[in-house]
Amino acid sequence: EGRGRKGKHNESEHTDEEVTTTVTSWISDMENYIVLEPLGSGGFGEVLKCRSLRSGNFFAMKRFFAPDETHHIFQRELAPLSVLKHDNVIRLLTAFLHGGLMHAIFELLEHSLCDELKKKGCGLESLTIKKYSFQILRAVDFIHSHNIMHRDIKPDNLLVSRSGVLKLADFGSGRASNHAAVPLTRAAGTMWFSAPEMLVMDPDYNKPVDVWAVGCTLVFMTTGNYFLKGERFLEHIKMIITKVGPLTAIQEQQYLNNVKHAREFAALPLVHPTTDLMEKYGISDPLLAQLVETCLQMDPVDRWRCSALLRHPYYTQDHFHESFPKELEKMVDQDQSVHLMVEQDSFPPITTWEKFQERNNNSPRCRNPGTRRRREMEQVGEKDAGKGVNITLSLCL
């Protein structure tokens, strides 16, 4: 099932009585945290580095600037993340309302895959690519097994711990793959990593859009360059056709159904990309090039599932798929801080929207932790913030 450690992902269920007990002893507003510095911002709001007054632990606080959409944010992003317990998925610790705005507390990781690639200025080492890509596939396979599409997989949304554990983050564009109540949109993800069926607004796109994004990410990890980088929609579609292949009949029809772009259809190129996969993707490893090819298929039906990709010869030829999970288990053990934080801060579980509302309406106001304690924490926070620590949390820009 792609799990690094036995028992790490199946946490015990909480009874209503346990939830109530935890809630009444929890300080559930901003006064429990010292905000140290901003980590970034986007259309959704902002991400802040903060420190708990209770434990002194550091966290990432995501503040959503949408007071009228708290229920939507809870259902779309927080509720799914609360049940996705996996070593390669970002850990949501808790959430609360403050000043009418939704706030979510996440584990804090040091940098993203994008940061690592920018710092290096070129592609990663071959073994690092194999380790990172295997973890990406584990994460996506896990969320797909829970019928969730991420819809915005890209290097910015892949965070890396100090020990090298990679985690999929930012589920702001996530959707249940079997949810048909709300139409799917093209604007859900980043264009450079968006699958063709997503771009032409096929209303029935599904989990394979994430596999396409993984393929684009693999090329980026290997070469240090974006594989598909159109500045405008039509330019990007042309680039996909030129580099990957022609639109399928269904995709052509969806493209024509969009009146805005129908008049531009004649301008689409009629080309046949090279069949030399290493030349096509700029990758010298033939097995890695084959792995990318299985992800970047124009027809989503032809893309491999993540469970199959994890058994691709790229991983099985040297028994990497058997040896690396054991190494990953040790890497995760080195990142025990998250588990200690959960124990020290006694975060209440995120259950249903109704219980979330009840907790925020009825939980006691923060008791003053004491002027001396707050002053001490602020001084420590200022000291840490002054070090210029480069810590990021993925944003949905």
What is the torsional sign of CA 381, 383, 384, 387? positive
Secondary structure, 3-state, 106-159: ECCCCEEHHHHHHHHCCCCCHHHHHHHHHHHHHHHHHHHHCCEECCCCCHHHEE
Q: Is 62 annotated as a binding residue?
A: yes
Buried b (16+ CB within 10 A) or exposed e, 30-43: bebbbebeebeeee
* Alpha carbons 168 and 139: distance in angstroms, whole number: 6
Q: What is the Cα 375 distance to its own chain's centre? A: 35
Picking from 174, 122, 124, the residue whose alpha carbon sits closest to that of residue 153 is: 174
- Say if residues 188 and 175 touch (Cβ distance below 8 Å): yes
Q: Which of 16, 29, 141, 152 is catalytic?
A: 152
* Alpha carbons 67 and 46: distance in angstroms, whole number: 14
| DSSP class of 44 | S
> Tokens standing for 218?
């693999």
Residue 35 backbone phi and psi in degrees, to 5: -85, 125
Residue 59 backbone phi and psi in degrees, to 5: -140, 170
* Helix spans in 311-352 (H): 313-316, 320-334, 337-345
* Alpha carbons 397 and 381: distance in angstroms, whole number: 27
- DSSP state string for 220-251: HHHHSS-S---SSHHHHHHHHHHHT-PPPHHH
Catalytic site includes residue 16: no
* Alpha carbons 16 and 23: distance in angstroms, whole number: 10
> Tokens standing for 347?
């975060």
* Alpha carbons 295 and 210: distance in angstroms, whole number: 9
Catalytic residue numbers read 152
* Feature table: binding site: 62
* Feature table: binding site for ATP: 62
